Chains A and B, each alone.
Chain A
Amino acid sequence: MTSEDSAVARPFRLIGRSTLGALAEIGRLTTFSGNVLGACVTPTIYVSEVLRQCVRIGFYSLPVVGLTAVFIGAALALNIYTGGSRFNAEQFVPNIVVLGITRELGPVLAGLMLAGRVSAGIAAEIGAMRVTEQIDALLTLSARPKRYLYAPRVIAATVTLPALVLVADIIGVMGGYLVAVGSLDFNWAAYLTNTWRFVTTGDIVSGLIKAAVFGAIIALMGCYQGDRSKGGAGGVGRAATLAVVGAAVLILASNYVLTSIFVRVGL
């Protein structure tokens, strides 16, 4: 091969290598997720571990999710008021706030906040266990990491994120309410009545379904990157970063897919 051939072929080789690498990564992640999700729905399930993870993932995330929701609800109300006033539609603030929070911003923002807090935490914890041979120790004690470590985290995140989103929905709507009544001169009773009459069960349920999917993604990405980490502290740090980035991208992508499905089925 001449050096000219080599120079021409190099970009194609790089593209080919990157493509194969990406496909291999998708394959590994899919296989890992399939194995862990299988362990979530088949015995043995370590209930005490699931409950412990529910507290760690769900309960301790309440402050961050609540604060995010109240500020987003408040900012949303101001933005809708400003935009709506351009064509005399200020009265729709309660309707759009509740729709935006329940269908979109509640689950997506709670998901993104938990991607940062929980996914990174899981990846760092499992990564540290990997590099200190604790995962090998589990295996020598005949405990499967996918059952003892990963499945409880995935179950806990899948169950608790909808509960957190439900709380975020209420707090977010109240954030909008406080701004609308306090700063925009809305009547408090009319605001609440409009909100209650406008919101449907479908709005809430669609947000909760999204939350459950996002919860599974957050825990799976944390477990996957933690499980693959190697090389000491640097490897653990890299695993945490990759878990957050991967979870955030997958949350946004799956949000679009789920929204498309909900629109198509009329939910």
Chain B
Amino acid sequence: MIAPLLKMTGVHKSFGTKSVLRGVDLSVAPGQSLVIIGGSGTGKSVTIKCALGLLSPDAGDIHFDGETVTPSNADRIRERTGMLFQGGALFDSLTVWENVAFALLYRDGVKRSKAKDRAIETLAKVRLGAAAADLRPAELSGGMQKRVGLARAIIATPDLIFFDEPTTGLDPITADAVNDLILEQVKALGAAAVTITHDMASVRKIADEIAMLHEGRIIWRGPVSELDRSGDPHVEQFVHGRADGPIQPAL
């Protein structure tokens, strides 16, 4: 059996009196694409932020490639990961190519001319031309911002990439194009991927396995082929987008 690249065991996280994660157990193998689904406010983003070391769990263990993630080694571990944020989280004050090459410029000390060449190469991988390189993020459409975010996530060839709602706010055609890019680039890198999404078309397209998060725990996990016959009422309600069922709408 292949050792998991990321393993979370019994992870708890509370904010004040609100308990968000109540014992999350999750593992991702190298090269595997895991999609986490679940209603709004169930802790999907918190799970990713704990895995990245952006939030410290109150209890439980997180291991990356066999090493426990702690505040002291989180920086080093993050050098092997990439992240595409829901809103892109591109740096407003930098140009597109500086955003893409940020890790090369500020972490790896690559010279600006070389970093710009690498950024333009990576932008081409996400179907953006060199003309976009000198633009500011505010000059880009939502779909283009997602692609720049994807380029920034993959430029340093990470082993694990997190995608937080990669298609939210995009029209179905652009969303499908972004999904294709994600699939293509993750496969090209041979990286593992953990994706949070509500978009069932994305789930079916990019997932090898799916995990359902509900009330702070993973309540079901299985391959994408079993999604429609999971036998779990929570999963069925979520997949079919019904208001009636065990999950109460977050109104």
Name which residue of chain A comes closest to B106, CB basis: A143
Kindly state whether residue B23 has any CB partner on chain A within 8 Å.
Answer: no
Establish whether residues A141 and B107, one from each chain, have CB atoms under 8 Å apart when the complex forms: yes
Q: A46, A137, A140, A142: which contacts B91 (Cβ < 8 A)?
A: A137
Kindly state whether residue B59 has any CB partner on chain A within 8 Å.
Answer: no
Establish whether residues B106 and A141, one from each chain, have CB atoms under 8 Å apart when the complex forms: yes
Q: A128, A132, A137, A142: which contacts B107 (Cβ < 8 A)?
A: A142
Establish whether residues A140 and B106, one from each chain, have CB atoms under 8 Å apart when the complex forms: no
Establish whether residues A143 and B89, one from each chain, have CB atoms under 8 Å apart when the complex forms: no
Q: A136-B49, A136-B54 are in contact. Are A143 and B87 (CB under 8 A)?
A: no
Q: A46, A128, A133: which contacts B85 (Cβ < 8 A)?
A: A133
Establish whether residues B75 and A142, one from each chain, have CB atoms under 8 Å apart when the complex forms: yes
Establish whether residues B103 and A141, one from each chain, have CB atoms under 8 Å apart when the complex forms: yes
Kindly state whether residue A139 has any CB partner on chain B within 8 Å.
Answer: yes
Kindly state whether residue B235 has any CB partner on chain A within 8 Å.
Answer: no
Contacts of A132 in B (CB 8 A): 87, 89
Kindly state whether residue A186 has any CB partner on chain B within 8 Å.
Answer: no
The secondary structure that dominates the A interface is helix
Q: How far is the CA of A235 from the CA of B103 in the complex (A)?
A: 29
Establish whether residues A140 and B75, one from each chain, have CB atoms under 8 Å apart when the complex forms: no
Establish whether residues B82 and A140, one from each chain, have CB atoms under 8 Å apart when the complex forms: yes
Q: Mark B78-118, 1 if CB is under 8 A from A, else 0.
A: 11011101110111100000000011001100000000000
Q: A141-B102, A142-B75 are in contact. Are A136 and B85 (CB under 8 A)?
A: yes
From residue A114, how far is it (CB to closest CB) to chain B in Å?
20
Q: How far is the CA of A128 from the CA of B81 in the complex (A)?
A: 25
Kindly state whether residue B191 has any CB partner on chain A within 8 Å.
Answer: no
Establish whether residues B83 and A46, one from each chain, have CB atoms under 8 Å apart when the complex forms: no
Establish whether residues A143 and B107, one from each chain, have CB atoms under 8 Å apart when the complex forms: yes
Contacts of B152 in A (CB 8 A): 141
Q: How far is the CA of A128 from the CA of B102 in the complex (A)?
A: 19
Chain B: how many interface residues by the 8 Å CB criterion?
23
Chain A: how many interface residues by the 8 Å CB criterion?
16
Contacts of A137 in B (CB 8 A): 83, 85, 89-91
Kindly state whether residue A148 has any CB partner on chain B within 8 Å.
Answer: yes
Contacts of A138 in B (CB 8 A): 91
Q: A137-B91, A148-B106 are in contact. Are A142 and B79 (CB under 8 A)?
A: yes
Contacts of A19 in B (CB 8 A): none
Kindly state whether residue A35 has any CB partner on chain B within 8 Å.
Answer: no
CB proximity to B under 8 Å, residues A88-143:
128-129, 132-134, 136-143
Q: Mark B53-75, 1 if CB is under 8 A from A, else 0.
A: 11000000000000000000001
Name which residue of chain B comes closest to A133, CB basis: B89
Q: How far is the CA of A137 from the CA of B52 in the complex (A)?
A: 11
Q: How far is the CA of A233 from the CA of B189 in the complex (A)?
A: 38
Q: How far is the CA of A138 from the CA of B74 in the complex (A)?
A: 13
Name which residue of chain A comes closest to B82, CB basis: A140
Q: B81, B91, B106: which contacts A134 (Cβ < 8 A)?
A: B91
Q: Mark A132-169, 1 if CB is under 8 A from B, else 0.
A: 11101111111110001000000000000000000000
Contacts of B85 in A (CB 8 A): 133, 136-137
15 CB < 8 A contacts A-B: A132-B89, A133-B85, A133-B86, A133-B89, A134-B89, A134-B90, A134-B91, A136-B49, A136-B54, A136-B85, A136-B89, A137-B83, A139-B54, A140-B54, A142-B107
- A-B complex: 4 closest residue pairs judged by Cβ atoms: A137-B89, A133-B89, A140-B83, A141-B103
Further 19 A-B residue pairs, CB within 8 A, beyond A46-B106, A133-B89, A141-B103: A128-B92, A129-B91, A129-B92, A133-B85, A134-B89, A134-B90, A134-B91, A136-B83, A137-B83, A139-B52, A140-B54, A140-B81, A141-B102, A141-B152, A142-B75, A142-B76, A143-B107, A144-B75, A148-B106
